[in-house]
């Protein structure tokens, strides 16, 4: 696939996922460094690309895609990946990978972490709700601790010994949680530290967060 790749969006956890996946695949692409709450996603030009008015957005030739999970799954399915990158060998493995992606996107990201974002950092827009924030924090830890440590006790990554898109999703949520001061279990902290040393992660951080040393979360993203 030699068509041009373009990514719109920097400075958010969900945009970081796309940059990271492209760096894992060692793909050349154009980056349009627009932010989530700068007004750049509400221009007529951008809304014609992504009517939802959020980042990231991804173009491959004439094909346009939004939603960070869908984008990194598309990259994983349509481009050559490093030998050590997990590729499902059968429908069982594909379904297990999909299970992880849905779990992380819904039970870690959308429900607890974004609730904390909405009623914490963005309380001036959505209203303060300290009880909801506390409940979301507890829920995040409950779901994380139920699903992840038992797997990491026996393997380096979520899908075994090979790194996968699920690890990109999980690490992005762990970065977000760490930024909120959520205490992570030792086994998960060690996993996060190990994954964050990957060359693709480090190079993607430089693209997605050019003026920051650590990832931060923002709204207006998918």
Which among 222, 215, 219 has a CA at the least distance from the CA of 192?
215
CA angle in degrees (0–180, nearest 5) for 67-68-70: 70
Report whether pLDDT(215) > 70: no
Q: In this structure, what token pair is assigned to residue 210?
A: 């050019």
Map out the domains of the chain with their CATH numbers: 5-84+203-208 (3.40.30.10), 91-162+164-197 (1.20.1050.10)
pLDDT tens digits for range 60-75: 999 999 999 999 999 9
Helix pair angle (165-179, 13-24), 10° resolution: 140
Please, which residues have CB within 8 angstroms of residue 161's CB and are 6 or more apart in sequence? 155
pLDDT of amino acid 219: 47
Which among 41, 7, 63 has a CA at the least distance from the CA of 218?
41
pLDDT of amino acid 163: 98
pLDDT tens digits for range 89-111: 999 999 999 999 999 999 999 99
Contact status, residue 3 vs residue 151, Cβ threshold 8 Å: no
pLDDT of amino acid 221: 59
């Amino acid at each position: 696939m030699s068509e041009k790749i373009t990514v719109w969006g920097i400075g958010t956890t969900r945009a970081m996922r796309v940059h990271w996946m492209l760096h894992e695949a060692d793909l050349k692409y154009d980056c349009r460094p627009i932010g989530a709450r700068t007004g750049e996603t509400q221009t007529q030009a951008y809304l014609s690309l992504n009517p939802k008015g959020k980042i990231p957005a991804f173009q491959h030739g004439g094909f346009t895609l939004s939603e960070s999970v869908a984008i990194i799954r598309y990259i994983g399915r349509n481009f050559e990946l490093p030998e050590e990158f997990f590729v499902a060998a059968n429908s069982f493995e594909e379904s297990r990978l999909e299970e992880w992606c849905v779990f992380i996107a819904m039970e870690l990201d959308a429900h607890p972490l974004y609730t904390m974002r909405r009623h914490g950092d963005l309380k001036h827009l959505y209203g303060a709700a300290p009880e909801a924030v506390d409940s979301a924090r507890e829920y995040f830890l409950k779901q994380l601790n139920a699903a992840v440590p038992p797997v990491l006790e026996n393997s380096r990554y979520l899908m075994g010994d090979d790194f996968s898109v699920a690890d990109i999703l999980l690490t992005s949520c762990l970065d977000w949680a760490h930024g909120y001061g959520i205490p992570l279990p030792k086994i998960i902290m060690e996993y996060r530290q190990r994954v964050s040393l990957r060359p693709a992660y480090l190079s993607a951080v430089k693209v997605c967060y050019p003026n920051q040393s650590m990832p931060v979360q923002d709204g207006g993203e998918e």
